[in-house]
Structure 1
């Protein structure tokens, strides 16, 4: 019985070291799911499933722009219609919206028309480990 306790303790102590040496590990990444619909006016409406965090909307439109539309990673994406609480959607545009403040900022908000970032910046939100629930 003593042998089992000692060998169990040794295994528990060495397991993290062995896992790193062999390259075994895991990462916790939230699974953002979004549905992107092209509207008649040329905008794209993004609805998320399971999260209404701003980064989930940016992730959805960024991934769609690069993988589906095959746009360059430098393409700017703009919030055309801010977050709507009733439908839980955000509309994005590939051209600057009229009357919107399109100055560059470090915000990840979807509550202000004109907020923008590059397609690669938006897609990179898919790999954020922490979610920001602020709007």
Structure 2
């Protein structure tokens, strides 16, 4: 089962705009595929393969679709695969992986992790349209 996730639906209150004419636009679209081993495969829809796209996708899916706690840790269980443009995530630390957080956002290292709320917050990056 493949679910297409749009960070914010255009018909939602968020998609219609927030105060002072600032608009929120769904820029990060991903496909989330729950796998049999309990992990989730994330693949961007469109051109962006930036780390922020993957973290936004899994964070928003975890919080809004699965209803996990904001403090739930999300781990990279299979690092970015260039040809497939996919990353696998889990809610448990991968066995033997280093789970110490680094200084930069990445999906290239198994064990990299963020809280669900921190991951979802990347969905809000670059959404303010000042109309200039």
Give TM class, smaller chain: 0.7 to 0.9
Following the alignment from structure 1 to structure 2, what is the Cα–Cα distance between the partners of residues 58 and 80?
A: 13
1:25 to 2:21 alignment = yes
Give structure 2 stretches of 5+ with no counterpart.
1-18, 128-132
**Which structure's CA Rg is the greater one?**
1
- Counterpart CA distance in 2 for 1:117 and 1:129 is 20
Is the CA contact 1:74–1:120 (under 8 Å) kept in the aligned structure 2? yes
Map of 1:43 onto structure 2: 39
After superposition, the Cα gap between the structure-2 partners of 1:106 and 1:121, relative to the gap in structure 1 and judged at 3 Å, is farther
Matches within 5 A, 1:1-135: 24-27=20-23, 29=25, 31-50=27-46, 51-129=48-126
Using the alignment, how far apart are the partners of 1:68 and 1:85 within structure 2? 27
TM-score normalised per structure 1:
0.74
Alpha-carbon distance in structure 1 between the residues aligned to 2:51 and 2:41: 14
Partner residue, 2:15: none
Q: Secondary structure at the match of 1:97?
A: coil
1 CA distance for matches of 2:68 and 2:104? 22
Cα RMSD for the two superposed structures: 1.6
